[in-house]
Copies of this chain bind each other. A is one copy, B any other.
Amino acid sequence: MSSFFTIEWQDGAVVMLDQRLLPTQEVYRTYRDYRGVARAIKDMVIRGAPAIGVAAALGIALGARQLKRIDNPAEFERLCQVFAATRPTAVNLFWAIKRMGGVYARTRALGREAICEHLEREALQIHAEDIAANRRLGRYGATLIAKGATVLTHCNAGALATAGYGTALGVIRAAWEQGKKVSVFVPETRPFLQGARLTAWELSKLGIPATLITDSMVGHFMQKGAIDCVVVGTDRTAANGDVANKIGTYTTAVLAARHQVPFYVAAPTSSIDLHCASGALIPIEERAAREVTHVLRQQIAPTGIRVANPAFDVTPHELVSAIVTERGIARDPFGQSLSELVRKGGKAKKEKGEKERT
């Protein structure tokens, strides 16, 4: 087991590891007021789309107890709005809020205590489901990882980006837990340094051998034959298998293709957007210049220099060897394999729902 956690519900409070202070300080923050949780999401105490969804769900469960008139839907709606406004691009945020809203609608007539209990139970369920899905995804992904393999990842798609196990790092972790003795190359992932600050720290905590490099070294180590495969996460995957992920992922995929290194994407089905036909339709968020001109608080570029800072890039599906989900592994042609996996889950849920109703 790992010696840290990302987010937990403890004695009626939300507790989070403050990721802004990693890797030099490990500080857990306890929130007894939902406004604190919302601010923590906004200020990136916690980040990563699945983790943000879990934090919002727990925050709503916490906030419900603070409401004066919980049976008033307008009050509950205002509570949800506070969370919807935190990181408006994270799709899991809205998905989690919608699930909490559904529970509220079904239990509103049952009285304060019952509403609060059901909301709390749903938030904990979202938390547990995320970890369970990550573990299933990890087991599928581990079948692709050879014994003793050196795996390169990018950014942080680990326990810190989810409720607690990780997607890309979940694959690596599952392989490690199976005794495969893998090791990992970790590009630092400028500008926000999620690789250096979070992934390197997480792997250290797990005892998995990791080598930190700069993003500019990926080609060199592929050329040297030091990398056996690449596993990355994704912020959104289009219906055709085009993958939007942290800036730098596309460069890594091009290098992997040149060197015949398999390039795998760990994509929970919640991140697969069948309504999005191709990567060209995925909007790329442009972030503040200061992330590039500064490293943390330190200025590294001349004052006033022009900067470009796209947060993501799109890797075309022809560079992707396989997409690993919690329901199985999709391969080319992705248009077919991805929609089958996503529909499979829908069908499973529907069947489960029907059984529950009988």
A residues contacting B by CB (< 8 A) are 22-24, 187-191, 193, 196-197, 200-201, 204, 209-221, 223, 246-248, 250-251, 254-255, 258, 292-293, 295-310, 313-314
Q: Is the interface of A mostly helix, strand, loop or mixed?
A: mixed
Q: Does A204 contact B305, Cβ atoms closer than 8 Å?
A: yes
Whether A308 lies near B251 (C-beta < 8 A) is no
What is the distance, in angstroms, from A223's C-beta to the closest C-beta of chain B? Answer: 6
Given contacts A219-B313, A221-B308, 9 further A-B contacts (CB under 8 A): A190-B190, A200-B302, A204-B302, A214-B292, A215-B216, A216-B246, A220-B247, A223-B250, A295-B300
Chain B minimum-CB-distance residue to A316: B223
> CB within 8 A of A292: which of B213, B296, B301?
B213
Contact assessment for A299 and B216 in the assembled complex, using a CB-CB cutoff below 8 Å: no
Please name all residues of chain B whose beta carbon is closer than 8 Å to the beta carbon of A211 when the two chains form the complex. Answer: 306-308
List the number of copies, as a whole number.
2
A193-B293 Cα distance, complex, nearest whole Å: 11
Q: Which residues of B contact A258 (CB under 8 A)?
A: 254, 258
Q: CB-CB < 8 A to A191: which residues of B?
A: 214
Known: A212-B305, A214-B215, A293-B212. A300 touches B223 (CB 8 A): no
Q: How many angstroms from the CA of A295 to the CA of B299 in the assembled complex?
A: 10
- A188-B300, A306-B209 known; A248 vs B216 contact (CB < 8 Å): yes
Docked complex Cα distance between A220 and B248 (Å): 7
If the complex has contacts A211-B307, A212-B307, A306-B209, are A247 and B217 also in contact, measured as CB distance less than 8 A? yes
A302 partner residues in chain B, CB cutoff 8 A: 22-24, 200-201, 204
